[in-house]
Structure formats: structure tokens, C-alpha cells
A = this chain, B = another copy of it.
Amino acid sequence: MSRLVMKFGGTSVGDVERIRRVARLVAAEREAGYGIAVVVSAMSGETNRLVDLANAAGEGLPAEQFDDEYDVVVATGEQVTTGLLALALRAMGIPARSWQGWQIRVASSDTHGSARISDINAGEVAAAIDAGQVAVIPGFQGVTEEDRITTLGRGGSDTSAVAVAAALEAGRCDIYTDVDGVYTTDPRLVPKAKRLDKISYEEMLEMASLGAKVLQTRSVELAMAKRVPVRVLSSFVEPGHPNPGTMVCDEDEIVEKQIVSGIAYSRDEAKLSLKALQDHPGVAADIFGRLAEANINVDMIVQAPSRTEGTVNMTFTVPEREADRALDLMTSAQTQIGFEQIEVKKNVSKVSVIGVGMRSHVGVARIMFDALSKKGINIENIATSEIKISVLIDSSYTELAVRALHTAYGLDSA
């Protein structure tokens, strides 16, 4: 029997009526012959309620005295959903039982609040599934070597699902969500955006880390590493109705490769420019070392000659919410680093075109620059990878840029 993992997020299990719909979706796949594990999140709102309680009770505690018991409190949200779904399945005549993280067991690191799954001992669960029972497993949970409860951090349930699929050697991991698949770009911005039938792990990883919020980045990394085929599909479609979703899979399985598969964007960007920076070895290491120590993520680094002899201009982007902190950090170390002036620009967006086809095609970047130029959009920074070109532009042009690129790369639906 082929095993299938189905994952449902918080809104999909938000009340008992929705949990029953999930049970119907599970029943249909079981009817189709799969051996099934279901991974569930906490009912929507529950995690926030529990986080608030923990924050109130542990007010003022440093993380190392807070996170383990926070996990004890917050992990109960998923546990409740597993019990309820097992009951709803049984009420439909389907054998089912819940398996908590410590029962399976889902071994994790002891970094409470943001633990990483290290191993899943799924032997007993696999046997139960093969005997026809649906296994209902909490996402987001793990257990340390010392038998303490951990949580994986927000969005960790996608990662749990992929890890369970890998441990069960499942043929597929279906992530049910509130959209019906992965789109060529954000459909709220571009009505002509198309659902993709397939997308490669590498592309999905770029899309996820560039702001498309369909899947958690870590879950895509894990799926790619373990070669777990992941399908993203809608949880709001009743069984029996078409719901193809998007397959996230190995590049080799995609026959009709597009040069560009999707356009991602992020408004949460700020650009910092260090003018007339002393140009000597180690200066970049100094700057980015300071930012890394302060836990500030840096992106799109560009170094260019300046008008002053012996100096350069250095620009980079940080998440907008970190901009002020980054500015303070640089300013307070101005003499040590050695620059004349610093500028911050907050109203910038990063727009990226992504596609594995770029590897074998030339002229991909030119299409991008032409399309933006025709709309009179100025490019402030450029960063590229093997399968991605990102540009930094003025925020007010975001929609215009995304729509123009969507058309230029032939992604508009008929």
C-alpha cells in the first residue's frame, strides 16, 4: 500500500465542522487505497491564546528560563486537534488514533521554541497505517533526548509533515492550505496569475524565501534533501471535486520547463548605503560581521567605485523592520569601519524572477531590464543566483513591475 501524508493548517481545522471536512478529505484518499498519516496544526486562534497565557505567566523571564515551559503550554494546541480529528474520523467509521510527538517519537534538538527535527522513529506508526488505521500526528511538536516537549517555531507544521513523509517513505506529502496551489505570482496583485501544475524544489525554495508564503522555507529544504514530492492544494474543496494543486518535485520530473516559473516580490526591504568607505581588505567582513552578530539578515550586497580616491560605495538591503537597528549599529561604529556618510532608504521593494530554465537560456535578464525600462522603472540594485534575478526598485512601482514582468515572460493566462 502506498503511504500518503496529508497536512492541514490552523484555518482548515478551525472548528469541529471544518475538522469533519478534513475527515471527509482523508476518507476519500483512504477510499482511493492510500495508507494515511494526517499532520495537523492547532485550531486557528489557539496558538495565539496559549502564547499570550505563557507570556503573561512568564513575564520578564529570559529565553533560557522561558522557552521549555512555553513549549509545554503551546504544544497542547496541536494535541487537542489530533484527538478531535481521530474522533471525527472514527465517527465516520474510519479506524484512527492520535500519536503525540513523544509517542512516535519525533526526536528534536533542545532549542525550545524553534527546535529542529533530528529523527523520526516511525516504525510503530507505519505498522498501524499499513494495518488500515489513519495516524493523526501533531505538527510543530518534538521531544528532546531528555523527554521534554519542544515546538518547532511558527509554521513548523509544514516541516513536520515533510519529515513524517520522509520517515514513512510516503509517496507524497499533500499540504492542504487556504490557496489552491502555487501561482506564477501573487494573484491578488496580478489577476492573470496562473496556478502552476509543477514547480521544482529549487524554484519553490526561492519563491518561499522571497516572500511567497505558501510553504515554509524549511519544509521545502527538507523535501528537497529527502526527495519527498510535496503537493500544495486547497483544503476548502469537498472530496470528489477537482483539486489538482501544485506538485513540488524534482526538476527532472518537469517535462515542459518554463524559462521563468514565477515572479516573487517583497515590500519588507530597506536599502543602506555606506558612502566613501575605506577600501581595504577586511572592511566587508567587519561590516557584515557586526550585522550578523546582531542577527540582522543582509541581502543584495553591491560594491561600486566611489568618486573619492581609495574608497568605495557599499549598498545592501535588510528587512525594513531591522533598518533602524542596522543604521544605529553602523553609525556607532563609523570611525572603526571608516566611511564618510550613511543613507537609508525604506520605501524599496525586491522583485525577483525565478526559473530553473535560466540555467540553459541566455537573455533572461535582458527581458527583465527591457520590461522595467519600458515602464520607466529605475533599478537600484541587482542580485542574481543560478535560477533567480532580483532587482530592488522604488516601492510605489511594485505592482506595475510585477505585472509587466508577468506579461514579458509569457506567464499571463489566456
Report which A residues bind B (CB closer than 8 A). Answer: 16, 19-20, 50, 53-54, 56-61, 65-66, 68-73, 76, 79-80, 82-88, 90-91, 97-98, 100, 102-103, 147-149
Contacts and interface: CB of A to CB of B under 8 A. Distances in A.
B50 A80 contact: yes
A94 to B, nearest CB: 11
Contact of A76 (B19, B53, B60, B79): B79
Contacts of A65: 90
Contact of A72 (B54, B56, B69, B79): B79
Given A60-B91, A91-B58, A84 B80 contact: no
A69 B53 contact: no
Nearest to A103: B147
Main SS class of interface, A: helix
B58 A87 contact: yes
A88 B102 CA distance: 25
Contacts of A70: 83, 87
Contacts of A73: 79-80, 83-84, 87
B80 A76 contact: yes
B86 A19 contact: no
Given A59-B91, A79-B72, A91-B59, A54 B84 contact: yes
Nearest to A59: B91
A56 B88 CA distance: 9
B57 A19 contact: yes
A57 B88 CA distance: 5
Given A53-B16, A102-B102, A61 B87 contact: yes
B87 A57 contact: yes
Contacts of A102: 102
